[in-house]
Structure 1
Amino acid sequence: MHPLNCTSKGIPVGLLFSDSSPTAAVEATQAAATELAISEVNAAGGINGTPLVPVTVPVGPRPADYLRAAETLCDQFGVRTLFGTHMSNSRKAVLPMIEGRQALLFYPTLYEGFEFSKNCIYTGAAPNQNCLPLARYLLRHHGPRGYFIGNNYIYAHESNRIMRDLYEQVGGQILGEDYLPINVSEDALDAVMAQVVQAQPDFIYSTVVGSDTVRLYEAFARTSLRARGVPMASLATNESDLARMGADVAEGCIAAAPYFSSIDTPASRGFVSGMQERYGLNMPVTSGAEAAYFQVHLFSAAARSCGDLTVERVREALWGETFEAPEGPVHLDADTHHSYLWPRVARAGDDGRFHVIEAASEAVRPEPYMVDHSIGEPSAKDV
């Protein structure tokens, strides 16, 4: 058994988010939501009277920087529970160390699937919870001919492979597939857009992430495709991107995620209010932030139910917990370590916000390996 290393100050938990990575903008929302949830847990009495103590160290922009930070948190601060990482290359850099130290990593970001670690809890969307609903929506409302643009790393390649497989099941066609380096040049963006305009797709599927997202959408906004209503669709574009690109550029883009900040339920309103009261009205509230928020509460509920605060006991207790998250009630799947989530599709309006246009009627079981799926099965209702 590996104890959570409770000290006189409380139970140390590590935050593993970077303020200098390509995805720093959305990671800032995830760090903020993690801190908000920790404050709520402590205000409610912590873990049976023992507070959670957030521990942070500087995290640089590269995957190796996340690894070094995780090592420092575990080895110097005695942390055995970590919340964070964002891009798949940073998660993959950290996981072997997490497994070697017998720690727990709670990962709050959508990803490409096809992974399992007994030391990782995945609270972001698996492919069947976002890629599949988006593919169905695009096929029904826009057409079978797509064009893929992504950053040149694992998430984009794998997400595009899944989307290609889904479309080819029903005779769809992918007209082009381009991969751009992180911090791509303006000339390269313009060149790709020229190719897209020439191909004349029914939609563009973007797996571009972070700071490149805004410049990609700006380049797209200058094209004739945008003028005639061809949509840019993405799983990774979120409210922090909308805030930086502006409503005139963002309007009409389509996204799929379990949560959008415009959801009008008591839990969602309370979450948005809590984020903005703590961090200001300009703090974007993203799906990644929502996952970062509810995973702290799931961990805390599991820890409260344990007699012994060990990694093994907490992990076992997690499978019996449910939390009323902003997206809806969520719980974990013991077989995959992924989360039951509420898939939604949304469109950006002229107000600079995502508005849900399709939503699942119940929480969807995660299928990270996409073993059992069909693009033809209905899974959602129009909103």
Structure 2
Amino acid sequence: VGSDYIWPRTSMKIARKHIETVGKLGKVVGEEYYPLGHTNFNSLINKIKVAKPDCIFAAVVGGSNVAFYKQLKAAGITGDKQFLLTLSVTEDEMTGVGGENFAGFYSSMKYFQTLDNPNNKKFVEAFKAKYGKDAVIGDVTQAGYLGPWLWKAAVEKAGSFDVDKVVAASPGIELKTAPEGYVKLDPNHHLWSKSRIAQGQPDATFKVVAESPELIKPDPFPKGYQ
């Protein structure tokens, strides 16, 4: 299930190819998309109850997440009974969704506020000192923080503010101070990062349960998945 625009549809296209063809993991029993801002998921929930899927793979975004997870819980579809993995719930969304409505479900991101490394501990402490103890940091927030530092490093490498020169200098740029640990820029301008899966907790935090052993080469639309 996803919001109706290119990112969720592309993500699901890749997922279906992996589930049914490349990984041969099973069969997709349903695929649904809803307009941005959609808040009534009752018909979808009825379909889920009938299909009884082993996994719900979700890319619902923004405010729709609040309605989606609250309605799932109200219908008795909870983390202790149903496996669900999403690509679009970070600590930011949890402030609206509520930990009690997401507890037991899983989210796949490259960054979670609870990451246990020196870079992140320092970053979280400084962030909360500036924005308040209740402020949370999600994957998108961390990405916003990385951008200017990566640009700065590329400018210094290029010795110029000229856009074309900065772009040409960007492949291979490394950032060892990233809250997520360590990243580097690929020639395609995406980041090499680790992938992480975390389980939502009742207090609206995440517990990391899996992590890729190495950085993953960024490939937005892998060969064989088109």
Shorter-chain TM-score above 0.5: yes
Superposition RMSD in Å: 1.7
Structure 1 segments of 4+ aligned residues over 4 angstroms from their partners: none
Aligned to 1:298: 150
Q: Is residue 326 from structure 1 mapped to residue 179 from structure 2 by the alignment?
A: yes
Residue in 2 that maps onto 1:59: none
Kept after mapping to 1: 8 A contact 2:39/2:64: no
| TM-score, length-scaled by structure 1 | 0.55
Structure whose alpha-carbon radius of gyration is higher: 1
**2:44: which partner in 1?**
192
2:131 to 259, 265, 279: 279
Change in CA separation of 1:317 and 1:185 when aligned onto 2, cut-off 3 Å: closer
Number of the residue aligned with 1:174: 28
Tell me the CA shift for residue 369 of structure 1.
2.4
Cα distance in 2 for partners of 1:153, 1:267 equals 35
Look up the SS of the partner of 1:369 in the other structure: coil
Deviation for aligned residue 1:153: 1.3
Name the structure where strand makes up a greater proportion of residues: 1
2:88 partner letter? A
| Distance (whole Å) between structure 2 residues aligned to residue 227 and residue 311 of structure 1 | 47
Shift of 1:227: 6.9
Q: Deviations over 1:172-214 (max 9, x none)?
A: 111111111222243xx11110111111111111111000001
C-alpha distance in 1 between matches for 2:84 and 2:93:
13
Match of 2:31, SS?
A: strand
What is the aligned partner in structure 2 of residue 244 from structure 1? 96
CA distance in 2, matches of 1:227, 1:371: 34
Structure 1 runs not aligned, ≥5 long: 1-148, 374-383
1:307 Cα shift? Answer: 2.9
Superposed displacement of residue 171, structure 1: 4.5
Query: What is the number of equivalent residue pairs in this alignment?
Result: 222
Give TM-score scaled by structure 2 length: 0.92
Q: Tell whether the 8 Å contact from 1:200 to 1:225 is kept in structure 2 after alignment.
A: no
Inter-CA distance 224–340: structure 2 relative to 1 (3 Å threshold): same
For structure 2, list consecutive stretches of 5 or more residues without a partner in the other structure: none
- Residue identity over aligned pairs, in percent, reads 27
Q: Please say if residues 197 and 224 of structure 1, whose CA atoms lie closer than 8 Å, have aligned partners that are also in contact.
A: no
Per-residue deviation, 1:372: 6.8
Name the structure 2 match of 1:311. 163
